[in-house]
Homo-oligomer: A and B are copies of this chain.
Amino acid sequence: MELSERRKKILQIVVDDYIQDIEPVSSKKVQQSYLQELSTATIRGELAALEDMGYLAHPHTSAGKIPLPKAYRYYVDKLMGRGALSEDEIDYIQSRFTSNINETEALIKNAAKVISDITNYAGLGIESDGKDERIDNIKLVLLSPSTALLIVVTQSKVLKDSILETGTIDEMYMETGGEILRKIFCGKKISEAVKIGSALIEKEFNRYRKLFENILHILKDYIKQDFENVFTEGAVNALSNPEFSDIERAKKFLSIVGSKEKIASMLRQDNANSVELTVKIGSDENEEYKDLSLVTANYSLKGKALGASGVIGPIRMDYRKVISVLECIRSTIDEMLKN
């Protein structure tokens, strides 16, 4: 059932107002914004109706109305105008993306940082795990007589954090080992590579067995780890918001923001989704997140999802500002990726 135009208008005013002042909005306040020759009494009637429908609530009898999640949802979907950023803000955002960033992780981290600096919320970034990407290149580099670095290159990433203890071996051995790896693994997905490798290891490469076992182990670990690719930036910023003036809520917020698992679980569904912009309001299913909202923008290159970045903050959030910022960053990054 659709709301009447008047109710829409009133709802919008209440939400706008509450987002700004974080105070229950009274009928009088609405009247001042709505001006139109409506009495407070009439407005009170309308407010009462919106309350009955589950959009609004009031904290106690003699208080104004505050928006419920349903109101924010409606506001974001249908009421909120698209606010423009100022020239300065756009310039600032663009200036933060000029340096040549050549890794997805750095790109997304940077986006999260910018977001957190310019909005007053915590910025977050998620890198697509790329587990089903194909291996472009794989290299073994001897660092010292008994350690080697394993490098795996996929379309969007370079995995290079795994140092192997090899026991004493020589350059030639390593070289040949690398070539074998490339022959077998290039063009395969990592998960496939693990399977194939496990099968082959038994039969063929006795000489390389130990080494390859190590490598397979690393790849398996990589597949297992699910949350390593979530970052947050500037959570402290978000504490300036009055909803966190209560230390307990602040702690709860920080511990959610600090937990890659929790962030990942909040994002899971949306991330699968290929929508460009996602607004998740007061996470419906989980009590723990009920007063938080999460707005994210997805990035992709040539149809391949790179990841996403966005904002996590109190449910009373300046959605207009946040969404404008995210859109601006999205387009800045798109521009960048063309080169």
Contact = CB atoms under 8 A, between A and B. Distances in A.
A258 interface: yes
Interface in A216-274: 235-236, 239-240, 244-247, 250-251, 254-255, 258
Contacts of A102: 147, 163, 165
Contacts of A151: 141, 143, 149
Nearest to A143: B153
A19 interface: no
B141 A136 contact: no
A258 B245 CA distance: 19
A218 to B, nearest CB: 12
A198 to B, nearest CB: 22
Number of chain A interface residues as a range: 20 to 34
A165 B239 contact: no
A74 B136 CA distance: 62
How many copies the complex holds: the figure is 2
A137 interface: yes
Interface in A129-159: 136-137, 139, 141, 143-144, 147, 149, 151, 153, 158
Given A137-B144, A149-B160, A151-B143, A100 B165 contact: yes
A149 B138 CA distance: 12
A228 to B, nearest CB: 13
A317 B64 CA distance: 45
Given A236-B258, A240-B251, A149 B143 contact: no
A143 B102 CA distance: 13
A136 B102 CA distance: 27
A276 interface: no
A284 interface: no
A103 interface: yes
A212 to B, nearest CB: 18
Nearest to A140: B141
A254 B141 CA distance: 40
Contacts of A235: 254
Listed from nearest, the 9 A-B pairs whose CB atoms lie closest are A236-B254, A143-B153, A245-B247, A239-B251, A236-B255, A102-B163, A139-B141, A247-B247, A141-B141
17 contacts: A102-B163, A103-B163, A137-B143, A141-B141, A143-B153, A143-B158, A149-B158, A235-B254, A236-B258, A239-B250, A239-B251, A239-B254, A240-B251, A245-B247, A247-B247, A247-B250, A250-B250
